[in-house]
Amino acid sequence: MTKTETVGWIGTGVMGSSMCQHLLNNGHKVAVFNRTRSKAEPLVKMGAEWCDTPADVAEKSRIIFSIVGYPKDVRQVFLGESGILSKAEAGSCIVDMTTSTPALAVHIHNKAQEMEIDSIDAPVSGGDTGAREGKLAIMAGGKPEAFERVRPYFELMGENIKLMGGPGKGQHTKMCNQTLIASTMIGVVESLLYAHKAGMDMEKVISVIGKGAASSWSINNLGPRIARGDFDPGFFIKHFVKDMRIALDEARRMEVTLPGLALAEQFYTSAMAMGFENLGTQGLYKVLERMNGG
C-alpha cells in the first residue's frame, strides 16, 4: 500500500461516507463516485476527486472499493456499460463491501479473473457508529493474496477483519450475521416495549440487562436509541429486509429451514408497509408499539 496511488471509492451513503473518510484522513488520494453527487460533496471538499461514472473511477485507480444498496446496484456498478470492469486494468483489485448475494460475488470474481483482476467480497457489520469510529467487522471472501493486498485499507475501517474463504464466503458470513441480528432485534424491541408498558426507565433497564446474560450489541447500541426515541438510520430497515430475503433465498437453496429469520422478515416487512423503510433497524419498535396500541 502506497499513499501516492489513487484509491477508488463508489458509494457514499450512511456507512460508505465515513469509511472513505478514513482513507482521506490517512493521507490517501481518492477518486469517488456516487449516484447522487451531493452526497459525495463532503468528501470532495476533503480532497477526493469526483468522477462521473464507476468506469472513470476504475481508470484512475488500481484498487477500487464499493458499498452501495442492492445487488442490482452492485451488478450495475461492476458489470454495467459504464461499470468498473469496463475500464479496470489487469492487475487491479476490486472490493465490494455491499451486503449482496453470494452468487453475484462469485460471478463478479469469475469475470474479473478473466481480465486478470482480483476480486474480494467484503461486507461489513457495525452500522454507522462502527463505520464512523473505524471499528467495523469486515468479513471477506476471495484469494488470500488479494486479501493481504487490501488488508491495510481494511485496517483503517475496521477492527475485526477475517478472510472467511473463497469468493462468496464473505457474503455467506454476512448472512450468518444478519440471521443472528434479525432474531435478536425481536427480543430487543419486545423487551423494551415490556419495560415501557411496566412503567420502567428503559435506559436504566438497559444498563442492567445489557451487562448480563442478555447482553448483545443490539441492546447496548440500539436499545439506548429506542429509549431516546431516536430511530434515525445507522442501517436502513429497507436494506435489512433485503439482507434477510437474501439469507432466506440462500437457505431455501440449501434446503435449510430458518423459522426465526422468517418471522423477523415478516415483522420488518410490516415496518415497510407502515412507511418505516427509511428508519434504522431499531424502528421495529414502532411496529410492535403500534400493534400494542402505542
Nearest-10 crossing angle of helices 237-253, 259-273? 150
Name, in order, each residue with C-beta under 8 angstroms of 126's C-beta and a sequence gap of 6 or more. 135, 136, 137, 158
Q: What number of other Cβ atoms are within 10 A of residue 89's Cβ?
A: 12
φ/ψ of 54, rounded to 5, equals -60, -35
φ/ψ of 257, rounded to 5, equals -100, 125
Q: Scan for cell 426507565, then name that residue.
A: 201
Name, in order, each residue with C-beta under 8 angstroms of 240's C-beta and a sequence gap of 6 or more. 178, 182, 268, 281
Q: Which helix (H) or strand (E) holds 160?
A: strand 158-163
Q: How far apart are CA 155 and CA 151, in angstroms?
A: 6
φ/ψ of 106, rounded to 5, equals -65, -40
Cell digits for 63? 484498487
Query: Which of 79, 82, 152 lies closest to 119 in space, CA to CA?
Result: 79
Query: Which of 69, 15, 67, 16 lies closest to 277 in space, CA to CA?
Result: 69
Name, in order, each residue with C-beta under 8 angstroms of 79's C-beta and a sequence gap of 6 or more. 85, 108, 111
Give catalytic residues, as residue numbers.
174
Name, in order, each residue with C-beta under 8 angstroms of 5's C-beta and a sequence gap of 6 or more. 29, 61, 62, 63
